[in-house]
Chains A and B, each alone.
Chain A
């Protein structure tokens, strides 16, 4: 009996990500959720600009590539056009929390019935390791070579907390993929985010605290340890908003 194999919703092509990059884990979790819910034939994914730009080659459902940060707007259009399809975006922190913040906040406040998978690895990966809106105070990056100085560069944006303050969104959870236990938790959260959409409950966003070994200048395992030691204390895991369990919610 097969206990574990590559999900069908992932195409049979090698991922281009760096060794130990957790994008691969999260791609798999999304594909597993699609498989388990039997929605591959109805799913339409929106790829971001960033390391995951070529996600359109990796998921076997219909895919569209959005402009930088605009994925929630593109997903809004698709979902309004095809309300019976399952629409998701997969976005990084630069895409979602910097250039695309307006699109993110407004899709959330409209409670668009879409699913957003948000990768927070505290850095711009694709362009070679610049400071992200989620880079930690003091974090050294190519564009914060002396460490992020909050006096000039401001503080990291806590997306889950920020969106949870809105009345609109149905479900906001932050998870991590730095160890087996957290990956399993993330798997459940991502599946729930898709189930919410199937049940018409509205906007679900799963923030996944992730690693970027290459641009953090660490080995893959060191990067996961850094997630545990530095990232999770600043970005506590948990459910930040859940309107899906409230009585009388439509």
Chain B
């Protein structure tokens, strides 16, 4: 099963992963503030993930680990 995990404390909330996701299942979690003071990105529907790793490819901070 494809699985995406976000190391939320590393995330700066830049949103590049949001735009990169072909399934549009990543969003910025506006209700959360991480250690750095950013609202981190997270996945909304794990079941739709195809493990393409586009999100991780565009992430400047190695926040995302993708498994299949």
State if A and B touch, Cβ cutoff 8 Å. yes
Nearest B residue to A22, CB-CB: B60
Query: A-B pairs with CB below 8 Å: how many?
Result: 71
Would A221 and B61 count as touching, CB distance under 8 A?
no
Would A20 and B66 count as touching, CB distance under 8 A?
no
A221–B56 CA distance with the chains assembled, in angstroms: 15
Q: Which residues of A contact B16 (CB under 8 A)?
A: 20, 220-221, 224
Interface size on A, residues (CB 8 A): 29
Q: Mark B38-56, 1 if CB is under 8 A from A, else 0.
A: 1000000000000101101
Q: Is A154 an interface residue (CB 8 A)?
A: no
A17–B10 CA distance with the chains assembled, in angstroms: 12
Q: Is A198 an interface residue (CB 8 A)?
A: no
Interface size on B, residues (CB 8 A): 25
Q: Is A14 an interface residue (CB 8 A)?
A: yes
Nearest B residue to A13, CB-CB: B10
Shortest CB-to-CB span from A75 to chain B, Å, is 25
Shortest CB-to-CB span from A76 to chain B, Å, is 30
Nearest B residue to A6, CB-CB: B62
Would B68 and A20 count as touching, CB distance under 8 A?
no
Would A221 and B15 count as touching, CB distance under 8 A?
yes
Would B15 and A219 count as touching, CB distance under 8 A?
yes
Q: Is A23 an interface residue (CB 8 A)?
A: yes
Q: Which residues of B contact A18 (CB under 8 A)?
A: 12
A221–B51 CA distance with the chains assembled, in angstroms: 22
Would B12 and A1 count as touching, CB distance under 8 A?
no
A128–B23 CA distance with the chains assembled, in angstroms: 37
Which among B15, B62, B65, B66 is the interface contact of A28 at CB below 8 angstroms? B62
Would A183 and B58 count as touching, CB distance under 8 A?
yes
Nearest B residue to A183, CB-CB: B57
Q: Which residues of B contact A219 (CB under 8 A)?
A: 15
A183–B53 CA distance with the chains assembled, in angstroms: 12
- Chain B, range 5-26, C-beta contacts under 8 Å to A: 10, 12-16, 19-20
Q: Which residues of A contact B67 (CB under 8 A)?
A: 1-3
Shortest Cβ-Cβ A-B pairs, 3 listed: A24-B60, A20-B14, A19-B12
